[in-house]
């Protein structure tokens, strides 16, 4: 749907030269014009349930460089509709995914888990960037952020887990626990990745054994041995994690 007169007015308002008007005045005028345009777009939508999403989308498809202003306007008017705001923005310009996540989180209208879930669902290819942005905003919620991301998009789980472990090595064991609980069948691969990042870390073995099913203990130990940990150390770590010696007798 096109709005020639409105679009022309916004183009004209953005075209005022800097020497004629102070920068602050230009920004105020731009925000006013965008606000008016946003309100008109919302009113013109036939599907009122999707009006906010479509209006945000329409504005950002034309003016992606105005993402801060457009989202500020939408959030101030409809903070409870943050899902529509996010979807409209993400579908307009996927490359702005981390900007959208950052702006929404800074506005404090939604918790990090909801924001991550929505963003990863819409743009799974940006899962790691979404996790990074969310963790920077709420570092204490790192485990939950990772959990939500990998449950929402399991295909991207391996990369998300490994990259987050690399970025936050002090949280490696916490992330490992979350990952194993979310993806129990991938425990061996998760242990292998964790030991690639933190060689000789027998705590990885203990945590993996204590978090997974007992029938995985031998596979976990075998993976640890292949990663360079001695059989004695790997076995001792597994027992410390709750493995029973009778379950380990066949470990090579």
Tens of pLDDT, residues 184-236: 999 999 999 999 999 999 999 999 999 998 889 999 999 999 999 999 999 99
| Predicted local confidence at residue 237, as pLDDT | 96
CA atoms lying within 13 Å on the CB side of residue 114: 13
The pTM score is 0.84
Q: What is the number of structural domains in the chain? A: 3
Looking at the structure, tell me whether residues 25 and 2 fall in a common domain. Answer: yes
Q: In whole angstroms, how far apart are CA 250 and each of 83, 162, 208, 241? A: 52, 30, 19, 18
Tokens 């490359």 — which residue? 95
Looking at the structure, tell me whether residues 62 and 86 fall in a common domain. Answer: yes
Domain that holds residue 155: 111-182
State residue 43 phi and psi, 5-degree precision.
-65, -30
Instruction: Give the Cβ contact number of residue 208 at 10 Å.
Output: 30
- Give 13's contacts (C-beta < 8 A, 6+ positions apart): 29, 30, 33
Looking at the structure, tell me whether residues 154 and 94 fall in a common domain. Answer: no
Lowest mean pLDDT of 42-46, 55-59, 60-64, 175-179, name the range: 42-46
Mean of the per-residue pLDDT values of the chain: 89
Tell me the mean pLDDT in the region 53-81. Answer: 95
Tell me the mean pLDDT in the region 101-122. Answer: 96
Measured over the CA atoms of residue 20, residue 22, residue 25 and residue 26, the dihedral's sign is positive
| Predicted local confidence at residue 49, as pLDDT | 83
Confidence category of residue 245, pLDDT binned at 50, 70, 90 = confident
Q: In whole angstroms, how far apart are CA 222 and each of 28, 184, 192, 225, 248? A: 64, 17, 10, 5, 10
Looking at the structure, tell me whether residues 230 and 142 fall in a common domain. Answer: no
Confidence category of residue 72, pLDDT binned at 50, 70, 90 = very high
Instruction: Give the Cβ contact number of residue 197 at 10 Å.
Output: 14
Using alpha carbons only, what angle is made at residue 117 by residues 112 and 123, rounded to the nearest 5 degrees?
A: 120
Last residue of a domain, one of 72, 107, 142: 107
Looking at the structure, tell me whether residues 164 and 62 fall in a common domain. Answer: no
Looking at the structure, tell me whether residues 91 and 44 fall in a common domain. Answer: yes
Among the listed residues 95, 143, 152, 151, the one whose alpha carbon sits nearest the alpha carbon of residue 118: 152
Distance separating alpha carbons of residues 23 and 63, to the nearest angstrom: 18
Last residue of a domain, one of 126, 159, 182: 182
Tokens 């939408």 — which residue? 74
Looking at the structure, tell me whether residues 126 and 145 fall in a common domain. Answer: yes
Looking at the structure, tell me whether residues 166 and 209 fall in a common domain. Answer: no
Among the listed residues 164, 156, 161, 152, the one whose alpha carbon sits nearest the alpha carbon of residue 187: 161
Looking at the structure, tell me whether residues 45 and 90 fall in a common domain. Answer: yes
Last residue of a domain, one of 136, 161, 182: 182
Looking at the structure, tell me whether residues 120 and 163 fall in a common domain. Answer: yes
Distance separating alpha carbons of residues 235 and 233, to the nearest angstrom: 5
pLDDT for residue 251 is more than 70 = no
- The residue ranking higher by pLDDT, 241 or 1, is 241
How does 212-231 read in b/e, with b if 16+ C-beta sit within 10 Å?
Answer: beeebbbebbbbbbebebee
Looking at the structure, tell me whether residues 3 and 80 fall in a common domain. Answer: yes
| Predicted local confidence at residue 238, as pLDDT | 95
| Predicted local confidence at residue 252, as pLDDT | 52
Looking at the structure, tell me whether residues 13 and 103 fall in a common domain. Answer: yes
Measured over the CA atoms of residue 196, residue 198, residue 199 and residue 203, the dihedral's sign is negative
């Amino acid at each position: 749907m096109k709005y020639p007169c409105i679009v022309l007015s916004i183009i004209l308002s953005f075209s005022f030269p800097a020497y004629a008007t102070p920068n602050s005045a230009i920004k105020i005028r731009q925000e006013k014009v965008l606000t008016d345009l946003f309100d008109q777009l919302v009113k013109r939508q036939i599907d009122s349930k999707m009006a906010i999403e479509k209006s945000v989308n329409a504005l950002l498809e034309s003016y992606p460089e105005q993402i801060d202003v457009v989202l500020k306007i939408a959030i101030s008017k409809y903070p409870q509709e943050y899902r529509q705001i996010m979807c409209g923005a993400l579908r307009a310009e996927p490359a702005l995914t981390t900007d959208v996540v950052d702006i929404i989180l800074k506005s404090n209208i939604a918790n990090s888990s909801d924001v991550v879930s929505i963003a990863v669902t819409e743009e799974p290819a940006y899962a790691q960037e979404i996790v990074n942005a969310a963790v920077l905003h709420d570092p204490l919620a790192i485990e939950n952020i990772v959990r939500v991301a990998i449950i929402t998009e399991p295909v991207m789980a391996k990369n998300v887990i490994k990259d987050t472990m690399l970025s936050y090595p002090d949280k490696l064991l916490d992330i490992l626990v979350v990952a194993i609980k979310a993806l129990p069948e991938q425990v061996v691969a998760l242990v292998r990745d964790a030991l690639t990042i933190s060689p000789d870390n027998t705590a990885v073995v203990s945590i993996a054994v204590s978090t997974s099913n007992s029938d995985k203990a031998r596979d976990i130990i075998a993976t640890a041995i292949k990663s360079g940990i001695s059989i004695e150390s790997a076995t001792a770590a597994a027992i410390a994690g709750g493995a029973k010696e009778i379950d380990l007798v066949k470990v090579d």
